[in-house]
Structure 1
Amino acid sequence: MSSTRWITETVEGSHEFNIEGYSLAKGSQGVGYSMTSGKFSVCGLDWVIRVYLGGYTQTCKDYISVFVKLVSLTEVRAAYEFKLLDKTGKGEHGAHYTATSPRMFNTTENSWGFQEFMKRSELETSSYLKGDCVTIHCTVRVVQTRVEEGKHYVIPIPPSNMGQNFKGLLESEFGSDITIQVGNESFKAHKSILAARSPVFKAMFFGVVGNPNMETVSIKEVDPFVFKAMLLFLYSDEFPETRELSNSDSPCTSTSILHHLLAAADRYDLARLKLMCEEKLCEKITADTVATTLALADQHQCLQLKTVCLNFAAKPKNLGEVMKSDGYAYLEKSCPSLLTDLLKISAAVDK
């Protein structure tokens, strides 16, 4: 027996359009004048957001008009939603407007939206406008259809256990051909695996000045517990569990461990591990640690982490506590440019 499935589904994507200097933009734009966001992709198609601060036409001149436009030359059905992002940090986003049903976007009708999205007078007295900045969030849901022919058999495929197998190889030390001395601890590993995962190890063992016959190597710039965590990642491609990052005798906090691990990932050119550390450090930012994390992010070119740290520290409710921390004292002495950036952002937030 055979079967066919006709499947209709949506592919969703979102974009935030930040309008800074709202008052200046409003004053320079009359009815029918628009500002356009950068392109963003949903379902492989390019879209932009168009905002008319002075209204799309004379009939809606007291309103802000918003539209989403299909840039790609094709035809597609899509639903859309607009909302204003709350600037108080409470997450109470508002002015929700959603298309009741998908619209047809094509070369003739490539733009849909709302002419009377919100009255300017309401916006200008709301929590959606702060620091002369307003953020419009747009979600596009593209409707797709596809046909699937039914299968005549079902063979369950188990998930890959390659990571566990390689991790077991590390823990068993079977076939190891290199001993790495880190502080007072030694680790047995496999040169081929280390070289395949890290360009630095590849150069160390098999590069022009490398030695493929070496049996031991000493590493001084990384603490043993951090090197162990890095080894676990190299063999499993997974972020080590918290219990694997340190033992009960380690004086380091989890944030401190992540600092050391990010530095090691950068040193050994492990981009994926470096990004994992960035993500976890973003979740652990506090007033006591943010200055230290900011300095680390700047040193190792972690731009996303640096931005998150600056925005957190610049908030009026956080800045006072941040300035009391040891990390802030370090910024004053060693990273004056970072301190300047922080104070600029803080001044902008206060306006």
Structure 2
Amino acid sequence: MVALKFKGHSTPLRTMSSQEGKFQLKHISGLVSLHLSRTSGQPKQLRAGSENSSPGLEFTIQLSLDTSSRCVCCKDNYGKPTAVWVSIDECQVVALKSFSPGQWKSAKIPSPLLKLEQTKIPCTLVIHFARTAGEINARMQFFNLYVNQLNCDVTFHFGTAEKDGQIGGHVTILSARSSVFAAMFQSGMQEASTRKVCIKDIKPDIFKQLLHYIYSGRTSPELSEEIAQPLFVAADMYDIGDLKDECIQFLLSCISLENAVNLMAWAHVRSIDSLKEATLTFVGSNGKEICKQDDWERLTKNYPDLCVMATRLMLK
């Protein structure tokens, strides 16, 4: 999985009809082109005295890979992009559909939060690449060591009376995936000699999901609003950067009237700038509904500086 941001050039949306960016990925040879075209609110329809934002603004996005690239032309599927998603302004996530080898295109994407005077369009692109059978088998074999608790050389204890109040792991694998575990199991540390670790600040089910991700590279079950935040905290505690990124990308995709204020406060406390900015933008664009909520009233008392920032956006 690869994620990158494309911000375009310095032409404001009021006069821009399309823009394109080219870049390279270490996973493939050849250039990748990302083309963004506006499909509504054409420049001639937008006068200087018009509103700064347009609820009818729509875009399409097209991704193109160099057709001479090995990942596009090879007979097997290894290294081929198999799925592409894009998020505009970190508020919408849209899947692109393949219409020819190396070519993907989105349907029309409404973007009511973009401002006509913007000169850049933040665009996050996620590409999923195919794997060989050998890669899949190797990952499954490592994962089975954890699932079946085979040859474990460290035990995590949760201090609970539950039947599954402990679980095993493997020092070498954990150390390779986490700098925190690597430091913990160095010689001279208590955990290195006892091979026992007491987990106090993370719930057992969340810690087990953290281990599941360390061994498999994916969450189980799939991320939900209930587990994304505590799982991010656990990943942050043990320095699992890719899991942190997945949790944030998921939370960015599910911002709503019901959770925007609390997500904004949580992102502020955790210093997660991308989520904080996205929720601020959402709150600023939905001020009438947000200000009626009890969550907003609590925000004014607990985070007055954040409330001021959101209020200023509401007044724009």
Q: TM-score range by the shorter chain?
A: 0.5 to 0.7
Per-residue deviation, residues 256-285 of structure 1 (Å, max 9, x unmatched): 321111111111111110110011111222
Q: What is residue 173 of structure 2 aligned with on the other side?
A: 193
Distance, in Å, in 2 between the alignment partners of 1:124 and 1:221 is 56
Classify the secondary structure of the residue corresponding to 2:156: strand
Q: What is residue 323 of structure 1 aligned with on the other side?
A: 291
Q: What is residue 205 of structure 1 aligned with on the other side?
A: 185
Per-residue deviation, residues 21-78 of structure 1 (Å, max 9, x unmatched): x8xxx9xxxxxxxx9xxx984045xxxxxxxxxxxxxxxxxxxxxxxxxxxxxxx9x9
Q: What is residue 107 of structure 1 aligned with on the other side?
A: none
Distance, in Å, in 2 between the alignment partners of 1:192 and 1:259 is 27
Q: What is residue 217 of structure 1 aligned with on the other side?
A: 197
Q: What is residue 130 of structure 1 aligned with on the other side?
A: 52
Distance, in Å, in 2 between the alignment partners of 1:172 and 1:142 is 43
Map 1:196-345 onto structure 2 (within 5 A).
196-206=176-186, 209=189, 211-242=191-222, 254-316=224-286, 319-345=287-313
What is the aligned-residue identity percentage?
24
**Please, which runs of 5 or more residues in structure 2 have no aligned partner?**
1-5, 25-30, 79-131
Tell me the amino acid that sits aligned with residue 204 of structure 1: M
**Please, which runs of 5 or more residues in structure 1 have no aligned partner?**
1-12, 27-34, 45-75, 84-91, 96-117, 246-253
Compute the displacement of 1:288 (Å).
2.0
Distance, in Å, in 2 between the alignment partners of 1:287 and 1:94 is 26
1:15 aligns with 2:8: yes
Distance, in Å, in 2 between the alignment partners of 1:18 and 1:275 is 30
Contact kept in structure 2, 1:16 and 1:136, CA below 8 Å: no
In proportion to residue count, which structure has more strand? 1
- CA 1:288/1:183 → structure 2, altered by over 3 Å: closer, same or farther? farther
Task: Say how many residue pairs are matched.
Answer: 241
1:160 aligns with 2:82: no
Per-residue deviation, residues 139-170 of structure 1 (Å, max 9, x unmatched): 7988967498xx9x989952522332222111
Compute the displacement of 1:332 (Å).
2.1
Distance, in Å, in 2 between the alignment partners of 1:230 and 1:186 is 14
What TM-score do the two structures reach when normalised by structure 1? Answer: 0.57
Contact kept in structure 2, 1:294 and 1:310, CA below 8 Å: yes
Q: Which residue among 161, 164, 170 is the counterpart of 2:146?
A: 170
CA RMSD of aligned residues (A): 4.2
Compute the displacement of 1:79 (Å).
11
Classify the secondary structure of the residue corresponding to 1:212: helix
